[in-house]
Amino acid sequence: MKRHRTRRFAVPISIVACIVVYCLAAGLSADGGQGNATAEVQTILKRIDDLYRSRSSTAEITMTIITPNWQRTLVLRGWTRGQDRMFVRILSPLKEQGVGTLKIGNEMWNYFPKTDKVMKLPPSMMMSSWMGSDFTNDDLVKEYKLADDFTSRLVRPEKAEPGVIYIESRPKEGLPIIWDKTIAAIRESDLIPLWQDFFDERGTLVRSLRFGEVKKFGTRNVPSVMEMIPRTKEGYKTVIRYNKLAFDVPLGDEIFSLRNLQSQR
Amino acid sequence: MNIHLKAAWRNIFRNQRRTFITGTAIALGLASLIFSDALVKGTTDSLINTATGSFSGQGQIHAAGFRETQETSRVIAGADAVLARLAGDARIKAFTPRTLNFAMASSASEVSPVLMVGVAPDSEGNFSKISEAIVEGRFFEDAATGGGRRANSQDIILGAKLVETLQARLGDRLVLTAAQAGSDDLAQEMFRISGIFRFAIDEMDKGMVFVRLSKAQDMLNLNKGVHQIALSLKDPRMASDETNPLWKDYSSEGNEAVGWPVLFPQLKAVSALAGFATAIIGILLFGIIALGIINTLFMSVYERMFEFGVLRAVGTRPGGIRKLVVYEAGALGLLSSGLGILLGFVVTFIVCKTGLDYRGIEYMGVSFKDLLYPVMTIEQFIIYPIIVFLFTVLVGLYPAGYASKMSITKAMRRTL
Amino acid sequence: MSKMALRNIFRQKRRSLLTSLTMFGGFVLVMIAVGMTDGSFNGMIDMFTRNSMGHIQVHAQGYLDKPSLHKVIPDYLKVGQKIAGVEGVEAWTPRVFSAGLSSVGDKTAAAVLSGIDPSLENKAVNFDKKIYEGRPLAAGPAKETAIGRGLAKTLKAKPGDALVFVTQGADGSLANEKYLIVALVDSGNEVADRSSLFLHIADAQELLVLDGKAHEIAIVAPKLGKVAKVKRAVEAALADPRLSVEPWQEFARGFYLAMQAENKEHQVSLIVFFIIVAVGVLNTTLMSVLERRREHGLLKALGTRPGRLFRMILNEVLLMALASIAIGSVVGTAANLYLSRHGFKFSQGFTFGGMVYDRLLVEISARCYIIPSLLVLAAALLVAIYPALKAARTDAARSIRYT
């Protein structure tokens, strides 16, 4: 019988972008939770949780994606409200300028100015592989209650640096979280996260998330740069940089609408 | 009784060696026909079984429209009733329900789109060849069969090539993400790789994962619904017959039942070609057997020209000679057919028990673990003997005519 | 001895005729049988190779194992020209592949894109025959598309509709473009048709940012028997370690194994032919020997050694066999020549992937001669041993008295 090729389905970069913003807004770097951690750990985790969380936000982001075959830099503008509304517009490069993605609850639409087409994504494609970036499904789909879903404790690794707190977190049994554990490093002085490593069940380091360049946006100090580096394959990296970031901005419904999506502005 | 008949019958047994050789030749021809026919039926079944027996089944029932749209919400209407009906249907050999949906499988390092199949371990184990294709780990077990091991709803079985793509191993975690039925909600569940199979078919080894039916139903919010019931039939030929009432019987109330010719038009095309080729071979085979009968029968008559000459000399009329020869041919035909039936039965029966071993061929990794079995049918033992008998008599007519017309002196000269 | 053998043959005209007839008949019938099984075997393979995948395929190294957008054949036109110059290449056609989302109106579905050169693809694998509605793609890039039956159903699309396809380009960029649906396609592979989408290769290259590149070049040879030779010739002509040339047995491996299995059953029928021919020869030869007991007794009494008698009988059979084979070859060749043009007509033809199948053609090759010859010779000689032994062991004294 005829041999049939299976192909991965490509997903527009815009989805990558919007989901990155989404998970940032929701603080989905998912490290740490309450459970049987000490009170100190709990405070730290809650701090990190709330680092990027707000009722609404606007941001301008530069995302650089590096793969062995190509390298790209996108500039995006994003709006979020609550946990379920998000809108992202690509500003650069020119070829993709005007492409937009709107997400309301579990529904997602893309708009392509070149073909003047609004495409609703079939639900099954919502979590397709990210041909572009190195963020995985785990980061996107379900938002986990940090408090309930992980068991965390303080640890002291060999090469511990002074002024840094290390927290090891393990997902609770039965949850569809692919990692066996994560280790996060947090700066003691201002409780800013420095990096987070993700491990599989065999103890292999699968990917690393790095935070850097703390800046003041409005009233908050947050790392303005996030780097995701896969460790099991060579030559891949995704870097996200917040150029602008504002929290608790009043945003009307009309921003999260199909009309706005098509307006190209 | 007619004197010619008596004489013919006695003549047969007079020269035992000649009768034996001639009779055996014809009998062998008949036995070959019977055996070839049985083998062909067995092989045709085998080819189809190879293609459908691994997983897809000889026929499938879906909700109408499911095959085109693959929508998760389109479940079989009245599945329980259908399953009950299948259980009581004498035409059905085995059946098993499944859920089918598109999902994304993620391991720690990779992500891949897959077809997620929810299977009922007991019926699926008996139905498809998954358990035989397992190379690591094991197929699903329930408490009843698994020697006490608790049924683990997180079990997932996937193909060797997929495991490689995902950079995973037996026992690793795997997360499946899929859209629930009827809504756009996404469901995400954790699984643990409990088995790895190798079918040597890319579509399966690269693209399919198996989970427990109940788990799939829960995850997809299907509420006991199923997307497909796969069937195998007692008479495989029913499956290839698209007009068979079986398909209409189960295509009611919004469901659709179809056989493999509809599901896999490529298979139908190949099967048609193969069937035709085999038919031609059958005709050719018939030709050689016919030649064989002509050969032996002619010989046995021409041998005895002297005899016939003597008979004529003592007053037998030409018509009498003709009758004699024809009756002899008939008697021989009868005997040979009897012997042929016996031979054919014995050989076919033996091969039915032992099977033909084609196991050297590694196709699909599983199918040729089955031996090839010929299929015996009553028609073979009625139609072919009749044809051989009639043909023998027919063939006897020519030398009969020759013998009756030959001049006595020539006949008695004995040289051929 | 051969002289005597020859004379013996003509002395017993009828017997010799019958024996020869059996051998002749067996030979011709087996000739046809072999030609026909080869023909059907090749016919089945061609169904899938000549009519879609091609007999030979060229890819970048490693593509077949792990397909990727980035594993390309650089400068496919140059490669194609080299291939076209290879002797035995009947046609070649390039292809570009990608996966993405297609959308018509408000319906969206995953689609697998194939960028093809419409005229080359048609020449090689009869692409236009697969179109069941609409018209063929333009010869040059014109932002037109042909989609599979299943995809058309899912998108509720028909010729004249506008389709937007979105995917990721080779440079990582978001690629999207609008195309006009001009044709609906049925390739015979129902599953593939649920997601297949065809563009002109230049349109695809533009969309995917793959200038001058292709993922696959498919090659068609005039006959299946020539595939191995053509494959080697292509490899030699290209002489590029970055490219991999595979015959259909490799890229359609599962199918290949199934065909092998199918072939084995025909071997069983050959055994039956063997038995029947053998029995026929045994019958007449035995009769002839028994009849000539007196003669053989006489010969022995005159001093002929048993060995010579043995060989004489065998020679008789051998000569008849050779004669049957010779005449059989002529008649069989005539029959096979006719059948290779006109073939056996099906009682019910069928259409698959746009091609009409209504007859089975016979394939003529050396096998058509070798197999029947061996079969007849083996059957005849093996079986003649018994009567020959009998002749050799004739008791001179007793035989002479035998009447």
Smallest Cα distance from B407 to chain C, Å? 17
Q: What is the pLDDT of residue A16?
A: 36
Six-digit token string for B67: 């095959």
Q: What is the pLDDT of residue B13?
A: 80
CB half-sphere exposure, C104, CA atoms < 13 A: 20
Q: What is the pLDDT of residue C116?
A: 95
The answer to whether residues C281 and C384 touch, using CB atoms and an 8 Å cutoff, is yes
Q: Which residue would you say has higher pLDDT here, C4 or C83?
A: C83
Q: What is the pLDDT of residue C196?
A: 94
Among C48, C51, C174, pick the best mutation site for testing chain A contact (most A Cβ within 10 A): C174
Q: What is the pLDDT of residue C155?
A: 92
**Residue B51 touches chain C, beta carbons under 8 Å:** yes
Domain boundaries, chain B: 3-50+269-412, 57-263
Domain boundaries, chain C: 2-49+256-401, 56-220
User: Are residues C40 and B363, on separate chains, in Cβ contact within 8 Å?
Assistant: no
How large a percentage of chain B has pLDDT more than 70?
A: 91
The answer to whether residues C184 and C98 touch, using CB atoms and an 8 Å cutoff, is no
How large a percentage of chain C has pLDDT more than 90?
A: 37
Smallest Cα distance from A254 to chain C, Å? 22
Smallest Cα distance from B333 to chain C, Å? 16
Identify the weakest region by mean pLDDT among A25-29, B173-177, C95-99: A25-29
The answer to whether residues A108 and A15 touch, using CB atoms and an 8 Å cutoff, is yes
ipTM of this predicted structure: 0.77
Would you say residue C261 has pLDDT above 70?
A: no
Six-digit token string for B328: 């002899």
Q: Which residue would you say has higher pLDDT here, B237 or B345?
A: B345
C224-260 pLDDT, tens digit each = 888 999 999 999 999 989 999 999 988 887 677 667 6
Q: Which residue would you say has higher pLDDT here, C108 or C348?
A: C108
A240-259 pLDDT, tens digit each = 899 999 988 888 888 888 88
**Minimum Cα–Cα distance from A107: chain B residue:** B184
Largest Cα–Cα distance in chain B? 104
Instruction: Determine what percent of chain C falls in helix, strand and coil, rounding each to the nearest 5.
Output: 55, 20, 20
**Residue B285 touches chain C, beta carbons under 8 Å:** yes
Q: What is the pLDDT of residue B33?
A: 82
Identify the weakest region by mean pLDDT among A77-91, B31-45, B388-402, C199-213: B31-45
CA distance B281 to B294: 20
Run of H or E residues at A83: none
Q: What is the mean pLDDT of residues B103-112?
A: 85
Domains and CATH numbers, chain A: 13-262 (2.50.20.10)
Q: What is the mean pLDDT of residues C129-155?
A: 93
How large a percentage of chain B has pLDDT more than 90?
A: 20
Note the helical H segments in B235-377.
236-240, 245-250, 260-263, 265-303, 305-313, 318-354
Rg, chain C, Cα only = 31
Mean pLDDT of all residues in chain C?
86
**Minimum Cα–Cα distance from C109: chain A residue:** A122
Q: What is the pLDDT of residue A87?
A: 87
**Residue C71 touches chain B, beta carbons under 8 Å:** no
Smallest Cα distance from C8 to chain B, Å? 11
Identify the weakest region by mean pLDDT among A114-128, B165-179, B204-218: A114-128
Smallest Cα distance from A144 to chain B, Å? 12
Q: What is the mean pLDDT of residues B334-343?
A: 88
User: Are residues C166 and A95, on separate chains, in Cβ contact within 8 Å?
Assistant: no
Q: What is the mean pLDDT of residues A203-232?
A: 89
Which residues of chain B are within 8 Å of residue C265 when distances are taken between CB atoms? 39-40, 43, 278, 372
**Minimum Cα–Cα distance from B66: chain C residue:** C154
**Residue A14 touches chain C, beta carbons under 8 Å:** yes
Q: What are phi and psi of C206, to 5 degrees?
A: -65, -45
User: Are residues C172 and A120, on separate chains, in Cβ contact within 8 Å?
Assistant: no
b (16+ CB within 10 A) / e for A83-121: eebbbbbbbeeebbebbbbbbeeeebbbbbbbbebbbbb
C289-323 pLDDT, tens digit each = 777 777 788 888 888 888 888 888 888 888 888 98
Q: What is the pLDDT of residue A131?
A: 32
Among C45, C107, C176, pick the best mutation site for testing chain A contact (most A Cβ within 10 A): C176
Identify the weakest region by mean pLDDT among A100-114, B276-290, B295-309, C376-390: B295-309
How large a percentage of chain C has pLDDT more than 70?
A: 96
Nearest to C197 by CA among C234, C167, C173, C218: C167
Would you say residue A105 has pLDDT above 80?
A: no
Q: Three-class SS of residue A233?
A: coil
**Residue B253 touches chain C, beta carbons under 8 Å:** no
pTM value is 0.80
**Residue B188 touches chain A, beta carbons under 8 Å:** yes
The answer to whether residues A81 and A251 touch, using CB atoms and an 8 Å cutoff, is yes
B217-263 pLDDT, tens digit each = 999 999 889 999 999 888 877 888 888 888 888 888 889 999 988 88
Residues 6+ apart with CB under 8 A from A15: A101, A108, A110, A121, A126, A130
Of C108, C168, C189, the CB nearest to A131: C168
Would you say residue A139 has pLDDT above 60?
A: no
How large a percentage of chain A has pLDDT more than 70?
A: 74
A14-72 pLDDT, tens digit each = 333 333 433 333 323 333 333 344 667 777 777 776 777 778 889 999 999 898 988 99
